[in-house]
Every structure is written in C-alpha cells, then in structure tokens.
Amino acid sequence: MRYLDVGTPKISAIGLGTWQFGSREWGYGTPYAEREARAIVRRALELGVTLFDTAEIYGLGRSERILGEAIAGDRDRVFLATKLLPVAPFPAVVQQRAVASANRLGVSRLDLYQVHQPNPVVPDTVIMRGMRTLQRIGLVGEVGVSNYPLARWKAAEEALGSRVLSNQVRYSLATPGPADDLVPYAERTGHVVIAYSPLAQGFLSGRYDGSNRPRNRVRSFNALFLPVNQDRAAGLLRVLREVADAHDASFAQIALAWLIRSPAVVAIPGASSVAQLESNVAAAEIELTDDEWQALRDAAVQFRPAGGPAVLPRLLRARLGSAPLGSAPLAQPGEQGGDEG
C-alpha cells in the first residue's frame, strides 16, 4: 500500500467507501450488512488500508454503526472519515451532529469531518464556525468538504482559518473533470482530492453491458448504464482493455491506478465482496507509464455520456424493465443520473 505525505496520520491511497453498508439503495441485503461488510473491513485493515469513508446519511446511520463495530480494537490503525449532511448546518447543529456520528462509530475522534455538499443558502463562514470549535475541543482532526467547486473549497478554507484538507468529488475515467482543476490545485498546495465513485459505480469494471445491467436502486437511475452510453464508452473501454492486458490487471484496477497516480489523490471504491476489496487494494501496486496515463486520459475526455433530462424517459423505461433502451436519438452530454451518495 502507498500512503499520502500531507502531514497527517497515515492515509492510504486506496481507501474503502462504505455507502454500501446497510443501505437500501445498494440492495446488498442483510447477509452483506451483517457479515460481508465486516469481513471487507477486516481484510482491508490486514492489507494496510487506513482510510475508511462513511457518512451520517448512509443507511441513516447504519453504515457508521457497522463500520464502527468492524474497526473496534483497531482504532489506532484507521484514518476515519465521515460526513455531515448540511441541513441547517448552524454551529450548534454541526457540533451536535459530529457527536452523534462519533457515538455511532464508537470513537472519541473523527480524523476527517467533511461537509457532504455545499449548502446553497448557509455560507461556509457559518458552517466552519462549528467545525473550528470541533477541532479546538479535539473531536475533529482534519476538516474536509465534498462536491465543492474549487473556488468554494478555497473560500471554505478562508472561513475555517486553517487547512480544509480534502475535497471528496466524483472522479473517475468516466468523469475525469477534477484532473483539470482540483487535482493540480491539490498537488501544488498539499491538499487531497478524495475520488468517490472511482469505478463509476462498477461501470468501469467492464462487467456490465446492455444485456446485463445492474438492477439496484442507485444504478438503475445512473444513465451510464444505459446501452447508449455503453456504446459511447467503446473507445474508453478499448484503451482500458489494452492497458489492463499490458499489466495483467483488471479494468477496475487500471481505473484505480489511473486516479492514484497523482500523489494528491486517494480513491475510495466501495466493494460488494472481500475479493473485490483485495483486487482494489492491489491496484496500489500498479505503475502506469506516462503514455498509458495520457492515453487513458484522452479516451476519458473523449467519452461524452448522454445524460440530463434527455435520458430520463429511457431511465424510467429501463427501470420498469420495458421498451427498447437504445432507440431514439439523444441530446448531447450532460449530468449523469444516479443518486448522490
């Protein structure tokens, strides 16, 4: 495993995302929540993973509880990250919610406490007052944000008056935008980009296609899995296959190795099994050449998935399991569907 050099306790370049734990929208069921999730965490610890990411909203607190139970006894080996859902994020509320998260996790300190989304009404000058108090009393180590554009990340840091260590954003070969601005900024200034949905929710594993679509609630609303986007991704998947063959690796491993080639990026893939976790951790050992990295980036930039309102009818039809999925022409790319985690 590789670790970041940003003046914090050890942060592994491959972490573990735990939105899947106890969450209905991923639909992995009770055996996963009660047994597999714990086994995934235990194996991750054995393999040197230190970064574990959860949020108060995941499974309405169940993810935090499952994760907390799984790391009990190994607290010192973990860089524990959770997130505040910024509903009425006034200082007293922020503080009270951090205490509630820590209680569910069974810990006395949150190594990284992140604001899950920018609040459209309450400014960061207000939210960060709560964060500052949490740092002062020692309940929170580092402060982070999530889904913040660069300008607002910088403004949040100014409001806090000290480093806002990380910005957790959707970043993968299917959504390479952060490579343009957030990643160079983080590299220059000692900050961290935490890449969420680094496998584009499994789209980049190459395991799904038009005749084999994932059926759970999160992904049935993700436009990437529509056949039209499988078609549009042919070029990207071809390059992914070439690089994967050259390294005797899987698509998913190359997708992760591409992200964490930057010393300022960590990826937090979720996993539905221990085998997936093991494979994802092994991606930290893969060294891409400059040419491979660039070829993947070029292919990623050229991938223009259909999205936005134009694909809504198709998504609904696909979800209902009716009607042909690849028929009418679509508007050009926009936002992809899918629930926010």
Instruction: For residue 50, state whether it binds ligand NAP (rule: CB under 6 A).
Output: no
Which residue among 268, 286, 311, 315 contacts ligand NAP (CB under 6 A)? 268
Instruction: For residue 32, state whether it binds ligand NAP (rule: CB under 6 A).
Output: no
> What character string, x for contact with ligand NAP (CB under 6 A) and - otherwise, covers 205-244?
x-x------x------------------------------
331: which 2 tokens?
């508007």
Pick the catalytic residue from 32, 58, 113, 148.
Answer: 58
Whether 170 contacts 269, CB under 8 Å:
no
Part of the chain binding ligand NAP (CB under 6 A), chosen from 181-189, 240-248, 275-283, 308-316: 275-283
> What character string, x for contact with ligand NAP (CB under 6 A) and - otherwise, covers 130-149?
----------------xx--
**Looking only at residues 146 through 165 of this chain, which bind ligand NAP when binding is defined by CB under 6 A?**
146-147
Which residue among 78, 182, 271, 288 contacts ligand NAP (CB under 6 A)? 271
Min CB(97)–ligand NAP separation in Å: 16
**DSSP codes joined into one string, 237-265:** HHHHHHHHHHHT--HHHHHHHHHTTSTTE
Q: Which of 180, 152, 159, 134 is closest to 167 using CA atoms?
A: 152
Q: 39: which residues sit within 8 A by CB, 6+ positions away?
A: 274
Place of tokens 């209905």: 24
Which residue among 53, 56, 124, 292 contacts ligand NAP (CB under 6 A)? 53
Residue 236, burial from CB neighbour count under 10 angstroms (0-12, 13-18, 19+)? buried
Instruction: For residue 202, state whether it binds ligand NAP (rule: CB under 6 A).
Output: yes
User: In terms of CB distance, is 34 or 340 closer to ligand NAP?
Assistant: 340
Give the integer Cα–Cα distance in Å for 315 and 338: 10
**Looking only at residues 302 through 341 of this chain, which bind ligand NAP when binding is defined by CB under 6 A?**
340-341
Which residue among 78, 131, 252, 296 contacts ligand NAP (CB under 6 A)? 252
Cα-based distances in Å from 240 to 122, 234, 258, 262, 268: 42, 10, 10, 18, 20
Give the integer Cα–Cα distance in Å for 18 and 1: 19
Min CB(229)–ligand NAP separation in Å: 15
Q: Which of 313, 341, 307 is closest to 26 using CA atoms?
A: 341
Which residue among 4, 17, 156, 167 contacts ligand NAP (CB under 6 A)? 17
User: In terms of CB distance, is 245 or 340 closer to ligand NAP?
Assistant: 340
| Alpha-helical runs (H) found in the chain | 29-31, 37-46, 62-71, 91-105, 124-136, 150-160, 182-189, 217-220, 227-232, 234-247, 251-259, 274-282, 290-302, 312-320
How many residues sit in the footprint of ligand NAP (CB under 6 A)?
30
Give the integer Cα–Cα distance in Å for 140 and 94: 11
Instruction: Determine whether 113 is an active site residue.
Output: no
Instruction: For residue 86, state whether it binds ligand NAP (rule: CB under 6 A).
Output: no
Give the integer Cα–Cα distance in Å for 287 and 254: 9
Q: By the criterion CB under 6 A, which residues form the site for ligand NAP?
A: 17-20, 53, 116, 146-147, 168, 196-202, 205, 207, 214, 252, 268-272, 276, 279-280, 340-341
Catalytic residue numbers read 58
